[in-house]
Amino acid sequence: MPNTDKIAYLLVIVFVLDALVGSYAVLRAPYPAFVNLGSPAAYLNIYIHVPVAMISYVLYTGAFIAAILYLAKHRERYDRYVYAFTLVATLYAAYVLVSGSIWAHESWGSYWNWDPRETGVLLLFLAYLVYFALRSSIADPDRRPVVSATYAIAAYAMVPISYAAPRIASSSLHPTKALLQGFMEQPEVRAIFYTKVLLVLLIGLLAVKLYVDKEALSPRARRALKLSILVSVLVMLSIAGYLSAQYSGGKVTRVYAVFGSPSDAKLLVKMGNEFTNITIAENLSKYVVEGRIALVGHVVKLVGLQDHAAKKLEVLVPSCVILDFIFYALFISGLGYTLLRRETSIGEEEL
């Protein structure tokens, strides 16, 4: 079997595994029990947004190294790697900006705050968008890779800047690595998070390799790849659909305060324009974390609501996580389209 096909089949497995791990994360993974703003469950985005952000830096580093190699050796293959790394990394960065904004709205109060890390990643993304414009604008096929590689090396300056942004600025809403350490050291968090990082890394590296050699891909491997992307996207959209469906069958609201004991709890929620106390018949001891009922900020569904009393309560995954997961599915399908599109002999694109 040719190497390109082996890579394609490996990517098939990784795409499906990534969809399954991502689905498990949004359904079962832990998140901080108490937060200052918004839903604690919004921090499920750690397993979706953060791995893609981390690996975008790795891929841009790949482009940087390939660009140096191209300028040193002037081999056409290195130029292909520069383009492939930059293309995949920029898709990753686009997803990071979108998913980060959606998460920020829930947990920081607005979609965009010109936070130093947000600013750094935006500049990074724009800098590398210029790479494509610059490359396309050069008509001379001999100058094109030289100018592009030179620019790719220069644009890489934005990578360490955006990574170190919370430290460069005297303040930032983004936490530093030291502050994240406490949460990341918890065993279940580590297991899921680092598995997701590994899968996202593999997707990126295999996608780059495949992009460079995609003309050698056999029709069978191409079909397998198409099918795996379709299956992955369908799995993720189904999970998103399932999580969205949980919003029906009761009154959906947000918890602003909790009073009383787990067996006799009252929740302060919003009904229409008014804040009101609701008594919950169900014992809430399953929501107790370190002696406190960990429900404040959560989006919940009140079941059997009548006269300020509900029989049951269900904690819902907030819409920001569902949306980010849907966008992740779109991102994977966009990556798949990029890998699978090719030019026919008359120059038209087909899948």
Tell which positions 326-345 bind another protein, by CB under 8 A.
none
Q: How many whole angstroms separate alpha carbon 156 and alpha carbon 68?
A: 11
Q: Which stretch binds another protein (CB under 8 A): 78-86, 213-221, 238-246, 284-292?
A: 284-292
The verdict on 171 binding another protein (CB under 8 A) reads yes
The verdict on 168 binding another protein (CB under 8 A) reads yes
The verdict on 189 binding another protein (CB under 8 A) reads yes
The verdict on 119 binding another protein (CB under 8 A) reads yes
Q: Which stretch binds another protein (CB under 8 A): 136-144, 195-203, 287-295, 340-348?
A: 287-295
The verdict on 191 binding another protein (CB under 8 A) reads no
Among residues 153 and 199, whose Cβ is nearest to another protein?
A: 153
Please report how close the Cβ of residue 347 comes to another protein at its closest, in angstroms.
Answer: 31
CB-based contact 270:237 (threshold 8 Å): no
> What residue has token string 């907030």?
318
How far from 50 is each of 119, 172, 275, CA to CA, in Å?
A: 16, 16, 35
Please report how close the Cβ of residue 3 comes to another protein at its closest, in angstroms.
Answer: 30
Tell which residue, 182, 176, 180, 183, has the closest CA to residue 29: 183
CB-based contact 298:39 (threshold 8 Å): yes
Tell which residue, 242, 87, 245, has the closest CA to residue 152: 87
Among residues 116 and 250, whose Cβ is nearest to another protein?
A: 116
Q: Which of residues 1, 75, 109, 271 is near another protein by CB under 8 A? A: 109
CB-based contact 234:89 (threshold 8 Å): no
Segment 262 to 281, residues that bind another protein, using CB under 8 A: 268, 270, 275
Tell which residue, 58, 154, 52, 170, has the closest CA to residue 116: 170
